[in-house]
Amino acid sequence: MTASLSPDMFDVACPSTAMPFQIGDKWTAMVVLCLEHGPRRFSELRVPLRTISPKVLSETLRAMERDGLVIRHAYDENPPRVEYSLTPLGRSLLTLVDAARAWCAEHMDDLLAARAAFTAGLN
């Protein structure tokens, strides 16, 4: 028999409770990959991230800036120009993203087979 799970396993004060919200959300890893090779403007990010709404992209970038993953640089120009770039902390996520992508590539057939079997079992 396995040990009981601790009720304090994900205590609010535990750093692990903060991590999944930003790093594990749907868009953060994709934004990190888009910024891997240098600063990008909002409109540039929208090209590969074409299925994200402007509102959600803006919220994602704001949250990433709040968490110290990106820097927002506004230039005093007319029209205004804003660029986003990875901080060293944000750049450190590239290793994690690469590992997740490698895991997915290695296990994609298994994942798809499991989904197909699950869906077939529902019918």
**86 within domain boundaries:** yes
**6 within domain boundaries:** no
Alpha helices in 18-66 (DSSP H): 19-23, 28-34, 42-46, 54-66
**78 within domain boundaries:** yes
pTM for this entry:
0.77
Assign residue 83 the CATH number of its domain: 1.10.10.10
Phi, psi of 86, deg, nearest 5:
-75, 140
Q: Residue 4 — very low, low, confident or very high, per pLDDT cuts 50/70/90?
A: confident
Instruction: Say what the pLDDT of residue 17 is.
Output: 52
- Tell me the per-residue pLDDT of 63-121, one tens digit each, with 9 for 90 and over: 999 999 999 999 999 988 999 999 999 999 999 999 988 999 999 999 999 999 999 99
Q: Which residues span the domain enclosing 39?
A: 15-122
Instruction: Say what the pLDDT of residue 25 is.
Output: 82
**56 within domain boundaries:** yes
- Tell me the per-residue pLDDT of 40-49, one tens digit each, with 9 for 90 and over: 999 999 999 9
